Structure 1
């Protein structure tokens, strides 16, 4: 009886072991199937980091830093005053430019007045020329009559029809009228010469005005440049974001183009993931992505594939690989993929540029 019980107990243990082994095998098989399915529908990489826009703040004009209104890691809004440069020198240049412009504008007004006066004088000379020509025509008509009278008087004198006294009187009248015609012609020529001289003076005055106008415009440009440089003494935040890499303090002497700090807008972040080229066969824009961040273990962020770079990372490196030397070793290339984060990402877990992440793309 005891032997039968022991024999039954042994069979039960064998059966239980077989059941456990079978269940374990099924679990392993299911797990393997799930793993294979997961690997076929998801791709991931740990060669990824958070990327973003970094706005470098640089001085546009040289000078001495008067005041810095921000500190490292401070949040600023677009348009906030973040730094002031001593504007004393630029204020002096503004005053000089304004004074120079006023002087040149006064000279331009004087040139305009001279032209206006010269044109009035030209108009008066025009009237004088018309009057002189009219007088010349009248005197020439009188001379024609005097010519006829002297010819008639000569004929009558030869016929002794008139006295010598009358003849001489007629001849004297003719000579007087001839002298008046000559004087009228000289007057016309003189007025014509004065008219041409006045026209030449007007052309010179207009040329001087054009030159002065150019000088005024040049001084306006100088004033505009001075005002622009004056405005550059106040530096404002180009965007919302956090101040980083601040390298300037009050009293520092800075140069134009010198980087002073950077602003990083954390609301405009994305992920640059360097996937192997063999992983990207079925990757397309719009596919969903789950992201693990080393800083926040257990926290998952969501996003989507935005785009795939047009070339591998090595193509855009400073020293691209040269494979034409005969010592070629094939290496799987990596292609950067841009992944944008969903806007409803947890705001309590702040992401920062440069953080290491592991994105997983669901490709089906």
Structure 2
């Protein structure tokens, strides 16, 4: 009984040496020519890929600046009335395409129509006042002409009376004529003088009346201008009862309904110019060193997978995004951590009709800008800095 386990234990020990010998005699995979050639080819392919990537990076890749912090935007126009009133008609629906000048909604025009009619009636009154004042001026001018004619006649009579007195006074003194006749001539002279003075007074009065009538005419003309201005303002208010689209676009965010009271300045809807989309791309400040307006851009939109759109850099913001924030950062404190800033870049989108049916403001995009056209900017900047240092 005690020997059996020892025999069972010795049996495997006697079989082990053949297995180790088999493993030692197994050839290495590296000695296989196929394996060696596969390794050589694989290493060469990896090296070739690395060399190609290095050349691509040095010649092209390092000049391609990309970011996914970019969004489609459009300069939408809010439609808001300039007057108060109740909405009587809404002529468009949500997401409807509209053209510039197309009517969008109407406000009850009756009050503004009545105000316009009243203003036009005031114009008619002022025009009648002008006609009356003009007639008054013309009448006073005729009176002035009559007064001047009478003054001429009175002056002639006065001259004749003076001549008669001067001729007959010496005769009466010498006894050749009677004193009664001379007194009668002197009386005629005084009457002629009085008539002449009255004619002169009439001329002065007529001139004053003309000035007064002219002032009334000018006042009536000023009243007409004010009435015309009021009528023009009333006409504008009446025209504002119909709101029209200012630009081509698509209706969005419509919140107005028939029967609703809208106050001046209340947003009723928005016209989005989907045909004039652009991209607001926020590049890191380390990426904009070679970026300039006019450089080409490649655009990838999440809504159009596998489609590369094209665009052009239009402008670069004059400040980082943080500078235009509601509360710009103040770093003049003891606690400061440098953070890479983002610079907004506006990129024009060159898309066809089919793509524009899908593109809407707010979509996320990936943008890559090719800055190779300005690859010598760093050298020029360095040369300018060196030249400034030498001065």
TM-score, normalised relative to structure 1: 0.89
Is residue 309–residue 351 contact of structure 2 (8 Å, CA) maintained in 1? no
Q: Distance in 1 between matches of 2:259 and 2:48?
A: 72
Which of these residues, 244, 254, 278, is aligned with residue 270 of structure 1?
A: 278
Is this contact kept in 2: 1:246–1:262, CA < 8 A?
yes
1:356 pairs with 2:368: no
> What's 1:195 paired with?
203
Q: Give the C-alpha shift of residue 284 in structure 1.
A: 2.3
Q: Is the 8 A contact 1:105 1:216 kept in 2?
A: yes
- Distance in 2 (alpha carbons) for counterparts of 1:21 and 1:216: 96
The alignment's TM-score, normalised by the length of structure 2, stands at 0.83
1:29 to 42, 50, 53: 50
| Farther-moved stretch of structure 1 (328-337 vs 344-353) | 344-353
Contact 2:310/2:351 (<8 A) preserved = no
Once the two structures are superposed, the pairs formed by residues 334-349 of structure 1 within 5 Å of their partners are 334-344=342-352, 346-347=354-355
Deviations 1:180-206 (A, max 9, x none): 111111111111112211211111111
**Is the partner of 2:268 in helix, strand or coil?**
strand
Say if 1:91 and 1:141 are closer, same or farther in 2 by CA, change over 3 A: same
SS in 2 for 1:84: strand
Partner residue in 2 for 1:91: 113
Q: Contact conserved, 1:296 with 1:349, CA < 8 A, in 2?
A: no
CA contact (8 A) 2:65 2:370 kept: yes
Give the match for residue 5 of structure 2: none
1:311 matched to 2:333? The reply is no
- Larger relative contact order, structure 1 or 2 (CA cutoff 8 Å, min sep 6): 1
Change over 3 Å in CA distance of 1:197–1:260 after alignment to 2 = same
RMSD: 2.1
Structure 2 residue runs of 5 or longer lacking an equivalent are 1-24, 373-391
**CA offsets 1:136-174 (integer angstroms, 9 cap, x no match):** 111111111120110110xx7xxxxxxxxxx6xx11111
- Following superposition of structure 1 onto structure 2, how do residues 1-364 of structure 1 map, counting pairs within 5 Å? 10-12=31-33, 14-19=35-40, 21-23=42-44, 25-26=46-47, 29-30=50-51, 32-33=53-54, 36-37=57-58, 39-153=61-175, 170-344=178-352, 346-347=354-355, 350-364=358-372
Provide, for residues 98-129 of structure 1, a one-character-per-residue CA deviation record: whole Å limited to 9, x for no partner. 11111121111111101101110110110000
Superposition deviation, residue 42 in structure 1 = 1.5
